[in-house]
Amino acid sequence: MRKHIIAGNWKMNLTPNEAKALVEELAPKVQNSNCEVVVCPPAIDIQAVSEAIKGTNIQLGAQNVHWKENGAFTGEISAKMLLELGVKYAIVGHSERRQYFGETDETVNQRAKYALTSGLIPIICVGESLEIREAGTTNDFVSKQIVAALNGFSGQQVQSLVIAYEPIWAIGTGKTATSQEANDTILAIRNTIAKVFGKETAQNTRIQYGGSMNAKNASELMAMENIDGGLIGGASLKAEDFATICAVASK
């Protein structure tokens, strides 16, 4: 059984004090969740959040991670630094990083590989643009992204990480994929994993949906067989809404 995982990607929002206040509000609301509950604050907030979540069931994720342990990489953060603060997950290859910060399939692969071998669990993001969706080549496109991101991994490694399918046109637009569209694309991703790593690995790998998931549409999305959770942007900044999504994923 794949345990549902709900992760909040706070993106570039909230100061350390605001971040602390949000998790303090969130903690009692999600204490009975039967899914994994993860928050991914901006790097500068991680220390404050790490302290605030002690003794709760909220887990910590980063929004990015580098592929080396240390060195001359201005502005980057290593797995070792994150692990010292109790970080368990790291988002890798978010479309905003690909679009605005030159992230490529190759750097996504390097980051994910190093994160995993260092002891972090990467949440690898893939997803198509509106142009690709309208051209009808979504499954091909995301399958290529997945194969590239997982290049050099073992099946055992693949089933220990998390994939997030986030159609770019659904991110921050209020326009979510229909539950059927999301499920179908996630199934295509699972089939690609099956082809490369075998059926069992594909069955065990958790694949989230992300893109305008909120307290209202979460139950329809979470009811789909292939959707194993959500990567939540805007709605993760409101404790009430994020807790509602976690409750839905706990069923």
φ and ψ of 68, to 5 deg: -130, 160
Which one of the listed residues 4, 36, 66, 94 is annotated catalytic? 94
18 catalytic residue (yes or no): no
CA atoms of 25 and 223, how far apart (whole Å): 27
CB of 164 to ligand 13P, least distance (A): 7
Question: Whose Cβ is closer to ligand 13P: residue 66's or residue 94's?
Answer: 94
CA atoms of 98 and 75, how far apart (whole Å): 16
Q: Choose among 164, 154, 21, 27: nearest CA to 89.
A: 164
Residue nearest to ligand 13P (CB): 233
94 catalytic residue (yes or no): yes
CB of 11 to ligand 13P, least distance (A): 7
Longest CA–CA span in the chain (Å) reads: 48
CB of 199 to ligand 13P, least distance (A): 28
Amino acid at 163: I
How many residues does the structure list for the chain? 251
Work out the angle at residue 125's Cα, subtended by the Cα atoms of residues 12 and 119, and round it to the nearest 5 degrees: 90
Question: Whose Cβ is closer to ligand 13P: residue 193's or residue 235's?
Answer: 235
User: Rule CB under 6 A: which residues touch ligand 13P?
Assistant: 9, 94, 166, 171-172, 210-213, 231-235
Question: Whose Cβ is closer to ligand 13P: residue 150's or residue 231's?
Answer: 231
Question: Whose Cβ is closer to ligand 13P: residue 3's or residue 175's?
Answer: 175
Q: List, in sequence order, every residue forming a beta bridge with 129; answer none if it has no partner.
A: none
Which one of the listed residues 36, 96, 103, 166 is annotated catalytic? 166
CB of 46 to ligand 13P, least distance (A): 17
Q: Where are the alpha helices (DSSP H) in 55-154?
A: 79-84, 95-100, 105-118, 130-135, 138-149
What is the set of active-site residues? 94, 166
